[in-house]
Amino acid sequence: RLLLEPALTEPQCRAGIVLIDLHSIDTRIKASGLKLQLCTNETQATRESFVRKLRALGFDIAVAQVTAPAPAACHLLRERGLRPHLLVHDDLVPEFAEIDKTNPNCVVLGDAAENFTYANLNEAFRLLIGMEKPVLISLGKGRYYKETDGLKLDVGAYMKALEYACDIQAEVVGKPSKRFFESALAELGVPPEQAIMIGDDIVNDVGGAQQCGMRALQVRTGKFRPSDENHPEVKPDAYVNNLAEAVDIILQEL
Amino acid sequence: RLLLEPALTEPQCRAGIVLIDLHSIDTRIKASGLKLQLCTNETQATRESFVRKLRALGFDIAVAQVTAPAPAACHLLRERGLRPHLLVHDDLVPEFAEIDKTNPNCVVLGDAAENFTYANLNEAFRLLIGMEKPVLISLGKGRYYKETDGLKLDVGAYMKALEYACDIQAEVVGKPSKRFFESALAELGVPPEQAIMIGDDIVNDVGGAQQCGMRALQVRTGKFRPSDENHPEVKPDAYVNNLAEAVDIILQEL
């Protein structure tokens, strides 16, 4: 049995405040023998820098323990011989270092933040509309997220803009895609019924994991909203108040 | 009987080349006693500057002869007591000069071009998501258009981005909205069965006008594509090769 763990530590990182003692959680998970994989839709940084942030917070994980959209996209690009034009955050570019980007035959869209300029969006659009069969790969389909200086449009909004302009459907890499959860399971080497997802996002974390055959706990922090408890389609296997409580419950069950 | 006329002269204006002798067309229409109304989705300039451009090309029309999305939006804003936050082209702002824009309770979106910055899009999004019932008014829903330096994403793409992020539906002002064609007819004071639309856009011009009860000719210039002749839903009343030919046919029928 193992524990899949999403970007639940992220709100703490972003706000710069550690709300939960990640180090003690990490220690307890390690002592229990549970395997841990972080399953994140983060596309504003490489896994390396993500891992550095978590280590600074006392959460000792390796790069291979992070399942993230960019490496998943690289896998897909190689598999299909695609050469991407990247419209992503500058800090994510290193993830694509070994991918051939000459003469692009697809567009990879991430949360490009300040790189979402009028010129860059037009450029991505022109490349797509010029392709015989436009291929748009989107690293997630989030609507928006919160930063210290306010709400920001997420990659999903820009994906919709390009989809509409080109009359196409993007291929979404990242949660809640089944393929994405499967690659996290493959990394751990366990079948879905032996895995538990802990997440704050009712659709992307809980719904996605359950569709893949895993059980999933929803944490009442971060993106959680009280209305999630009446979600018309997704019902978590259990609710917990925070990550520490989730770990408590799982360790008790062992 | 009258003649409704779209932005068919626009390609000529934009490219700076007069492909058709607009002045002679104008003279013939005037001599015939036909009433003329221009029905445009142009939102990068005021009607005044639009009229100036056409006059320079020999097409002598008055501002009241132009039905355009911005004044239609102003009408709607007044009717419903809405105070807009504008995300539009700088050159369009004067159309909203007399509208109260303090403490906005809706967002008006036009083809803002260079004003489609990451910061401006986030600002419009934050205002919308902060409203109890977000109201997004979009001046058209075009996918893209061509300029001398290449294809550009049109207002429709950005409308879709905001719709998705806020989980709302925009209210579209402009062609092909029935209300928009009706206001053009009202300006002319004739019922739809006495009007003919001439346009190059199969959906926005031809389809929109027909849904309003008018007849519509499609011109094989501008946005026209050969595939339009097999359009699954819209069938023009006739095809013509250009604006001059359309006018010939209509004058012969008188």
Say what the pLDDT of residue B76 is: 94
What is chain A's Cα-based Rg? 18
How high is the ipTM of this complex? Answer: 0.85
pLDDT digits (tens, 9 = 90+) for A81-91: 999 999 999 99
Say what the pLDDT of residue A11 is: 41
Please tell me if the domain spanning B2-41+178-253 has the same topology as the one spanning B69-173. yes
- Band (pLDDT 50/70/90 cuts) for residue A224 is confident
Range B186-207 average pLDDT: 88
Range B51-66 average pLDDT: 87
In CATH terms, the fold of domain A69-173 is Rossmann fold (3.40.50)
Range B237-247 average pLDDT: 88
- Band (pLDDT 50/70/90 cuts) for residue B22 is low
Give A110 to chain B, closest Cα distance, Å. Answer: 14
- Long-range Cβ contact pairs of A50-56 (< 8 A, separation 24 or more): A53/A13, A54/A9, A54/A13, A54/A22
User: Looking at the predicted structure, is the pLDDT value of residue B152 above 60?
Assistant: yes
Say what the pLDDT of residue A61 is: 86
Range A199-209 average pLDDT: 90
User: Looking at the predicted structure, is the pLDDT value of residue A44 above 80?
Assistant: yes
d(CA B55, CA B53): 5
Say what the pLDDT of residue B17 is: 34
Residue B198's H or E segment, with its range, is: strand B195-199
Amino acid (one-letter) located at B65 = Q
Concatenate the DSSP letters of all residues of B78-128 into one string.
HHHT--EEEES-GGGGGGGTTS--SS-SEEEE---GGG--HHHHHHHHHHH
User: Looking at the predicted structure, is the pLDDT value of residue B254 above 80?
Assistant: no
Range A186-198 average pLDDT: 88
B118 to chain A, any CB pair closer than 8 A? The answer is yes
User: Looking at the predicted structure, is the pLDDT value of residue A5 above 50?
Assistant: no
Delimit the domains of chain B by residue range. 2-41+178-253, 69-173
Best residue in A44, A89, A121 to probe B by mutation, most B CBs within 10 Å?
A121
- Band (pLDDT 50/70/90 cuts) for residue B183 is confident
CATH of segment(s) B2-41+178-253: 3.40.50.1000
- Band (pLDDT 50/70/90 cuts) for residue B35 is confident
Say what the pLDDT of residue B11 is: 41
Helices A22-32 and A243-253: angle between axes, nearest 10 degrees? 20
Range B135-147 average pLDDT: 92
User: Looking at the predicted structure, is the pLDDT value of residue B233 above 70?
Assistant: yes
Say what the pLDDT of residue A16 is: 31
- Residues in chain B within 8 Å Cβ distance of A118: 113-114, 116-117, 153
A40: Cα within 13 Å, side-chain hemisphere: 24
Residues 125-144 of A with CB under 8 A from B: 125-126, 129, 143-144
Is the Cβ pair A152, B116 closer than 8 Å? no
- Residues in chain A within 8 Å Cβ distance of B157: 125, 161-162, 164-165
A247: Cα within 13 Å, side-chain hemisphere: 23
> For A120, left (φ over 0), alpha (ψ -120 to 50), or beta?
alpha
User: Looking at the predicted structure, is the pLDDT value of residue B47 above 80?
Assistant: yes
What is the percentage of chain B residues whose pLDDT exceeds 70? 91
Say what the pLDDT of residue A17 is: 34
Size of interface A-B (CB pairs under 8 A): 77
User: Looking at the predicted structure, is the pLDDT value of residue A129 above 90?
Assistant: yes
Give A15 to chain B, closest Cα distance, Å. Answer: 19
The CATH number corresponding to A2-41+175-253 among 3.40.50.1000, 3.40.830.10, 3.40.640.10, 3.40.50.80 equals 3.40.50.1000
Say what the pLDDT of residue A146 is: 84
Range B200-223 average pLDDT: 89
Specify which of A46-55, A96-105, B180-189, B193-202 reaches the highest per-range mean pLDDT: A96-105
Say what the pLDDT of residue A8 is: 55
What is the percentage of chain A residues whose pLDDT exceeds 70? 91
* Pick from B129, B156, B167: CB nearest A164: B156
Maximum C-alpha span of chain B: 57
Average pLDDT, chain B: 88
